[in-house]
Amino acid sequence: MDSQERQQYRQEVDRKTEYANLNAILAEKHKLDMQLADLTQQMAALQRKIAELDKAYHKEIVSVRPTVVVDKTTQSRGKSKSLLNAVLKAAQANPGMLEKIQDNLDGM
């Protein structure tokens, strides 16, 4: 073989190996694209399931009754009445205190 034929043969071999490498890369890319599409579908299905569970949770949470019901209005009335009674008792014990309270209120 002369050098010209050897050069052409080398180029053909190089070209075949380059195409083989390109095809391997393309096959790997296609495989990963398919995996990505599958995972995207799974993710969409999971997001739908999460939305359904969230909706069911919020629907149930509205219907659930608390175990202890605290009547805040009764407690606040009791505190204000007891405070008022304490102020009245203190005012009866010291009549000058009412004047001081009134002066402080007028200053506000």
What is the pTM for the complete model shown?
Answer: 0.46
Please state the domain count of the chain: 2
Looking at the structure, do residues 2 and 37 belong to the same domain, yes or no? Answer: yes
Q: How far apart are CA 89 and CA 83, in angstroms?
A: 10
Instruction: State residue 99 phi and psi, 5-degree precision.
Output: -65, -40
**3 and 54 share one domain:** yes
pLDDT for the residue 25? 97
* Predicted confidence (pLDDT) per residue in 45-101, tens digit: 999 999 999 999 988 887 777 777 666 665 555 566 777 788 778 778 887 777 777
In the chain, alpha helices (H): 3-63, 72-93, 96-107
Together in a domain, 82 and 98:
yes
List the domain range (segments joined by +) for residue 100: 73-108
Short-list 47, 44, 45, 65, CA closest to 55: 47
- Compute the average pLDDT of residues 10-22: 91
